[in-house]
Amino acid sequence: MRLVVARDAGQLAEIAAELFRDRVRARPELAMAVPAGRTPRRMYRVLQALQATAPVDYSRMRVFSVDELCPPAPPDGYFWRQVRTELLAWAGITAERCCPFAVDAGDLTVMCERYERRIVEAGGLDLVMLGLGPNGHLASNEPPADFGSRTRPVRLLASTVDYILTDEVIQGAVCDSAVTLGVATIMAAREVVVLVSGGGKRDALGRLLDGPITPALPASALRRHPACTILADAEARPG
């Protein structure tokens, strides 16, 4: 596991954006599970701004979701709406190359099984980029996590729902139902990048870096990943 510490959230976004661009340049058909939430928002703004002066061809990427909230969230998903608005709207990636979660499906378990098959059909995920939950959750894998889990429906803890609702972009009801890439699905990716920003993540990051590998901290599974990078700002850095 590699730790990169930025001086602040702005530099973190710049580092994350350059990593994103480097991976697409190296592999134009990159299969990537892209993040949503507060920390990635700055990165997407940097990516869009860089297109004006140093464009990258994103059109051949395959874009997957990390996780998604279920109805009463909108059928197209709060998280996917962010991805669509902040990345897809300007990046030239067609709908045929995107794989959002169909949270309006009649059977979410079957939908998730199909999603897992689509990942396999894509040749596996080259890169999963995601955040770190305040309680150490990874995607929507809450503690205690099943390290052998694949893409599936899950229940969120009340504290996680409350945290989601503090994002001003979320406009509407949120329940405790979600779908998520499983821990084993994330671990099977060729590379994992975790974005960590703010003092509220300091404790979880400290436990991730120095604590035991335990289901009580889902993200601790990443200590066993052969190519995991943690991008954190100084405010999130423990000690």
- Catalytic residue positions, numbered: 67, 135, 137, 142
Strand ranges across the sheet with 228-233: 2-6, 228-233, 191-196, 127-131, 31-34, 62-65, 98-99
Q: Dump strand ranges (E) for 103-220.
A: 127-131, 152-155, 177-180, 191-196
Do you find a cis peptide bond into 40, omega within 30 degrees of 0? no
- How far is 192 from 128, CA to CA, in rounded Å? 5
- How far is 140 from 153, CA to CA, in rounded Å? 9
Kindly state the helix (H) or strand (E) to which residue 164 belongs, with its residue range. helix 158-165
